[in-house]
Each structure stands twice: as C-alpha cells, then as structure tokens.
A and B are shown apart, each in its own frame.
Chain A
Amino acid sequence: MTGAVVRRSTGTLWRSCGARVLLLPRHGDNVITLAGPAAIMWQALTVPTAVDDVRARLAAALDVQDDADLGPRVEELLRFLTEHGAVDVVAA
C-alpha cells in the first residue's frame, strides 16, 4: 500500500469508547474493535491521508521511531480495514 492515499469509508459507523474505537462497516456484519495505536490511526483517517503520513503521524503520537518495523504493521492494519470496508483507498 506504500504510496496509497486512504481515508475512513464514509459508510462506516463508529463509536469512540475511552481509548478504543468500535467500527461497523456499512456492509459488514461484525463490529471491529481498534485499541491503542490502531485507535490513534483511525483518528488520523478523517481526511484522505497518504499511508506514509499515517505512519509518520502514528510514530509521532506514540513517540517511537518511524522505522522499518512500523511500516509493515501499519500497512497490515490498513489492508485489514480496507478488506472489511472500513477504509477506502482513494488513490493508489
């Protein structure tokens, strides 16, 4: 997904519960719970954002190095959310 621009799917319903975010994609049957870094990432996806920027913002929020480890984990989560219809890729 490197280089892609992503954002929350507008049809996804969600609730912020303390430090967690619960999502119900428009056409999914299961509620997805995001916690910790994943919940922070969801907040960053309000507007179309480049995957690289998502990673950088997450690193800043967590106060960790934006290193080779973080990238694949962010991409894996974004891929999961995209597959479940919670996130849209708006530019490849």
Chain B
Amino acid sequence: MRDTGLPRPPSLTALESIAAHGLPGALVDGFSGGPLDARNWGRLLRDCGAQGLTGLLAAAVHDGVMPVTPSQAEDVYEAETEAAMTGLRLERLLLDVVGLLEGAGIQVIVLKGPAVAHLDYPNPSLRYFGDIDLLVGSERFDQAISVLGAAPYSRQLPEVGPGFDARFNKCATFTTPDGLEIDLHRTFALGPIGIRIDTDVLMRTPATFTLGDRQLSALDAESRLLHACYSAVTGQPLFRLSTVRDIAQMLLFNDLDHARLLALAEAEGGQHAVAHAVAGAWDALRLSDCLYLSAWAQQYPFTRKERWELDLYVRDDMSFLALSLATLRSLPLRERLTYLRMLARPHAELRHKRRSTVRRMTSALRELREIDERISSR
C-alpha cells in the first residue's frame, strides 16, 4: 500500500483507517471528508466484509470517529449483526469440534480468528472471522481427520496420497452440513516456509481462553504473532487487512518477549517471513510508532533465497504443484523421493483430467523459473 502519488479512492483510504482504528500512532486519516458517496460506500462495505474488518467498521461508527449517513448506519447495523451471528455459530461449532477431538484424547490448539478475538482484542466484537482453524500435532493428525470424518463434516479434498497428510500437508478442510468451514491444520503454510515449522514446539506452552463453559487452548502470545506473520505473507489474499491489524494489535498492546519470538522464528527459518510481515503491517496501516521489532523488520537483510521463498506466495494463481516442488529443497533427502512420488501420482480425484503428470510438472517448474527471473531482474 505504498504511496504511488496517484489519487486514491476515498473507500480505500477509509478502509485503511478502519483497519487502523484505535491503534496508537496510525497516521492515515480516511474519515475527515464526511460520509462517503453511495458508490464508495458500497465498495467499502464489501471490502470490510472481505478483509474481516466489519467489527472495526462498526466500532469506528459507534465511537463517532467515522461519519455516516443514517442509511449507512443501518447498513453497518446489518453487517455487524450478520458478522456477529456467524461468529457465534462458528464458536458453537468450535466447542463441538474441540469436544470431539479432546474426547478422542487429541490435543487441539485454536488458531486465528476465535483465539485472536478473545485473547488479543479488548472486545471480541472487534475481530470477526469466517471459519474456524485448529492445530493438531503431526502424530495425531490422521486420527483427528478420522474423528472429524466420522462426524457429520465432509472433507473438501481427499488426501494427496497415503501418508501425505501427517507428513507434508498444511491442512484438511471440512464443511458442516450448513456450510460452515473447519480448517484442521498440521502446519501454518504450504511450501518451504510451512514445512520447516515445528508446531509441536509451539504447542508445548499454550495460552488459554474461556468460551462459553469451556476453557480452550491457543498458541502463546509470541507463537500467535508468529502465526499471524506467516498468514500475512503466505495467505490468500496476501496481507489481508484483518491479519495485518492482528500483527499491529499484538505488537502494540501485548507484552511480548521479542527475543523469544525471534528465536522461534530463527529455529524455523522464518525470520524473513516475520520481517516481511511486520514491515508490511507498519506500511499498510501507516504506523508511526517505532518498536524494537518494527525497526528490526525495516532493516532486515533479506537473502536471495529468502526473497525467492516469499515471492512464491505473491502470485495468487501459483499452482499447488509449484509450491510443492518448491518445498523439495527444505525436505530431508530421504523424504524427497516419497514426496515426489506422491505428487506425481495423486489421489484420482485430484488428478488433472486433461494434463499428464509430465505436463503439470513442466508447467510448475516454469512457474518457479519465473520467480527466479523476477528475483534476478531486481
């Protein structure tokens, strides 16, 4: 979101102001021009929903910071009600799913939306979410998939091949009969960044929060920030504003052990992801407050390999196969052949109907070569 010198649509400036609402040191001022016109308002409302900012939009209006017309206030009321109702239903589902998994003796960590909303924001209504994300250790991942598969939840895509889920997969997505989504994670990202993360280490020191009549486990404060950073730089869309806000919220309000955070990131070869995410958050929200970590991020000396890894996630049409091939270098030698064999002959449902394995591999390698060329041309 760097300043290009071109006029910016008022809806975009307002969106950034909403993402930064309540943060100390935020310089963006998208509310001073009075209520938006109908076209910009419609765009803003849509973008707030897509970027997970409905709660902050409502807060900016409730707090009297964002000027709106009576009809726009009505729109906010409806959008907030819808987001809150979905959030409550997802939290109910979360309690059910955690109950099922813990009942089977599986340790579960709640990730992202619900955990961040309850642990990092003063009011969970500021942070709505569209699905639930859970983390399970690699050793129990297959069992967790069986438990959810036996419940009335259907898995969206089958396993690539026997053994792939527990060793290489990022997550398995399930859908409830009424269309809610559960992402069961083994790690935080596809590709080389994700494969190096040792989630078992991150699960050893959980934080807890209460939801209804249950106490749930989440990652501790440093690991939550680490995960938010990985999400910002590997998720789709990249630098989703709710994730960017999470990073700023955690850094500006939580009492974090920065040395521990960086040690965790270094152990996973993820310092570049943290630096890129924190610098991106400070840039997107135009934050003026300089913290130890924001200063560190601005000056981080990215290596060529690190830039290459981060670039893997820039194209939103990067194929699963290209990301998977990019993972090869980060795997121990003995696992590379197994991995390649699984990718070459995936589950029948995942096979491309009109393209042979060789053509798919060639195309994926071309995607990776394009990244090489892009890095070289810089």
Residues of chain B contacted by A15 (CB below 8 angstroms): 84, 87-88, 124-125
Instruction: Name B61's closest neighbour in chain A (CB-CB).
Output: A18
Contact partners of B85 in chain A: CB under 8 A: 22, 24, 31
A17 touches B (CB below 8 Å): yes
Q: Which residues of B contact A26 (CB under 8 A)?
A: 92, 212-213
Interface residues of A in 4-25 (CB under 8 A from B): 10-18, 20, 22-24
Q: Interface centre among A13, A14, A18, A26, by most B CB within 10 Å? A: A13
Q: How many of chain B's residues touch chain A, expressed as a range?
A: 10 to 19
Query: Does B306 lie at the interface of the complex (its beta carbon under 8 Å from any beta carbon of A)?
Result: no
Residues in chain A near residue B58, CB distance under 8 A? 17-18
In the bound assembly, the distance between CA atoms of A12 and B210 in angstroms comes to 12
**Which residues on A sit within 8 Å (CB–CB) of B91?**
13, 24
- A16:B89 contact, CB within 8 angstroms: no
Q: Is A33 on the interface with B (CB-CB < 8 A)?
A: yes
Residues of B within 8 A of A22 (CB): 81, 84-85, 88
Alpha-carbon gap, A23 to B85, bound state (A): 9
Contacts of B87 in A (CB 8 A): 15
- Interchain CA distance A14-B92 in the complex, whole Å: 11
User: A20 — which chain B residues lie within 8 A by C-beta?
Assistant: 81
Are A14 and B123 within 8 A (Cβ)?
no
Q: What bracket does the count of chain A residues touching chain B fall in?
A: 10 to 19
CA distance A26 to B91 in the complex (A): 10
Say yes or no: is B295 at the interface (Cβ < 8 Å to chain A): no
Q: Which residues of B contact A13 (CB under 8 A)?
A: 88, 91-92, 211-212
Q: Does B80 contact A (CB under 8 A)?
A: yes
Is the beta-carbon distance between A10 and B213 smaller than 8 angstroms? Answer: yes
Complex formed: what's the CA distance from A15 to B54 in Å?
14
Alpha-carbon distance between A11 and B87 when the two chains are bound, in angstroms: 15
Judged by a CB distance under 8 angstroms, whether B62 is at the interface is: yes
A85 CB to closest chain B CB, in angstroms? 11
Point out residues on B near A: beta carbons under 8 Å.
58, 62, 77, 80-81, 84-85, 87-89, 91-92, 123-125, 211-213
Given contacts A17-B58, A22-B85, list 16 more A-B pairs with CB under 8 A: A10-B212, A11-B213, A13-B91, A13-B92, A13-B211, A17-B81, A17-B84, A17-B125, A18-B62, A18-B77, A23-B88, A24-B89, A26-B212, A31-B84, A31-B85, A31-B89
17 A/B residue pairs, CB under 8 Å, sorted by A? A11-B212, A13-B212, A15-B124, A15-B125, A16-B125, A17-B58, A17-B84, A17-B125, A18-B77, A22-B81, A23-B88, A24-B88, A24-B89, A26-B92, A26-B213, A31-B88, A33-B81
